Amino acid sequence: QVQLVESGGGLVQAGDSLRLSCAASARTFIPYFTGWFRQAPGREREFIGGITYAGITLYYSDRVKDRFTISRDNAKATAYLQMNSLKLEDTAAYYCATTDYCSSSECSTGNLYNNWGQGTQVTVSS
């Protein structure tokens, strides 16, 4: 099975930016949809948004709209999550995941994803 490896997390101050990467172990792996999720301690997993194999971005969470941008580079089998104007409430473990298919009403459902990365921690301080 193809492995997903997230990177780019770290400790930043409020207002800073970070770019997370989600690299597939196989360069030829182009999933139908790559989703980004996050989970803060004591909170449920939250779907941030995702991107199709064709580069169409979908379903940004209202909490991150206008601050986060998802993109992908198929040549590198890598998806990205650009996070700007980070806030304290963005502190969480961030995960990427892939699914072979999801309809427009389903892509936010974590159970549909069959491949998950190990996560990368983002901590935003004041």
Q: What pLDDT score does 63 carry?
A: 86
The distance of Cα 25 from the centroid of its chain, to the nearest Å, equals: 17
Q: What pLDDT score does 90 carry?
A: 97
The per-residue pLDDT for range 34-46, each reduced to its tens digit, is 999 999 999 999 9
In angstroms, the CA 70 to CA 84 distance is: 12
Banded model confidence at residue 29, pLDDT cuts 50, 70, 90: confident
At residue 18, what are phi and psi to the nearest 5 degrees?
Answer: -145, 150
In angstroms, the CA 78 to CA 8 distance is: 13
pLDDT at 6 over 80: yes
The per-residue pLDDT for range 46-57, each reduced to its tens digit, is 999 999 999 988
Q: What pLDDT score does 28 carry?
A: 83
The per-residue pLDDT for range 71-118, each reduced to its tens digit, is 999 999 999 999 999 999 999 999 999 999 888 788 888 899 999 999
Mapped onto helix, strand or coil, the DSSP state of residue 64 is coil
Q: How many helices (H) and strands (E) does the chain have?
A: 0, 11
